[in-house]
Amino acid sequence: MQDKTLPKDYDVYLPGRFEEGNTEPISKPSPKPKSRGIVIAIVLFTVISAGFFSYYFINQTEIDSRIIQSTLKMTPEQVLASKYKIGEFGSDHSHAAIVVIINEKQVNFGQEQFQLTSKYIHFENQNPYLIHKHATGVPLEMLFMSFEINIDNCMLNETESCKDLVVYLNGEKFHLDISQYEINHNDRILISSDEQSILNHLADLESLEIFDIPKKSYNIGNDLFV
């Protein structure tokens, strides 16, 4: 009797043995990204940002021109009024006396170039010392900038170099930036580069008359409300 011999590796084809006999590597499924939402958001942000900056650089000249034109439409007074958020014209009325001494001489604010240079704060009627303020929140900077003078701890204009100044407010030395000060009615301000004669200048300042605020006149007429 002839022996029946199973072929080599025949048993791998028997039920339950295929997996053992399958010598081909089983590929593992690729893991899904866990942060797909974050990746998409980053990509979208990058694309949008690139588009925005590309638009800006392509149209930079036109955009900058529009910004400049918008700024140029505002007067220097309007720029300062916006900066300090001052009140409406007529929201206040205050008078203060000011004396400015440069090189031992008093600045004459009664000259034409210093008169009515701003509607919010100004000198008027050729008076050389009396400040009129017509709105709340108006600092002295608006007064001096209206005739192109910068003032803080020194005074500068187009023709003069910086002069070191001392400031007195109502007889007391003032150590803060006077340009940011908002006057109150009856204030007396001395700004001087001549410290040696301070007492004399203070006496002159004290002698100046500060006019009372005119009372509002009413024309009643036949109106129900005034």
Output the CA torsion sign for 78, 80, 81, 82: positive
Angle between helices 36-58 and 60-72 (to 10 degrees): 70
Distance CA 130, CA 96 (A): 6
Closest Cα partner for 166 from 175, 203, 208?
175
Radius of gyration of the chain, Cα coordinates, nearest whole angstrom: 41
Q: Residue 78: its pLDDT value, please? A: 87
The pair of three-digit structure tokens given for residue 168, joined into one six-digit string: 């007195």
pLDDT tens column, 119-150: 999 999 999 999 999 999 999 999 999 988 88
Average pLDDT over residues 192-214: 92
pLDDT tens column, 161-196: 566 789 999 999 999 999 999 999 999 999 998 888
Identify which of 149-158, 161-170, 202-211 has the greatest average pLDDT: 202-211
Q: Residue 174: its pLDDT value, please? A: 95
pLDDT band at 151 (very low <50, low <70, confident <90, very high): confident
pLDDT band at 117 (very low <50, low <70, confident <90, very high): very high
The CA dihedral of 154, 108, 113, 75, to the nearest 10 degrees, is 40
Higher pLDDT among residues 38 and 1, named by residue? 38
Closest Cα partner for 118 from 85, 140, 91?
140
pTM metric for this prediction: 0.63
β-bridge mates for residue 188, sequence order: 97
pLDDT tens column, 15-58: 555 555 555 555 555 555 556 777 777 777 777 777 666 666 66
Q: Residue 89: its pLDDT value, please? A: 93
Instruction: Please give the share of the chain, as a percent, with pLDDT higher than 70.
Output: 64
The pair of three-digit structure tokens given for residue 117, joined into one six-digit string: 């240079």
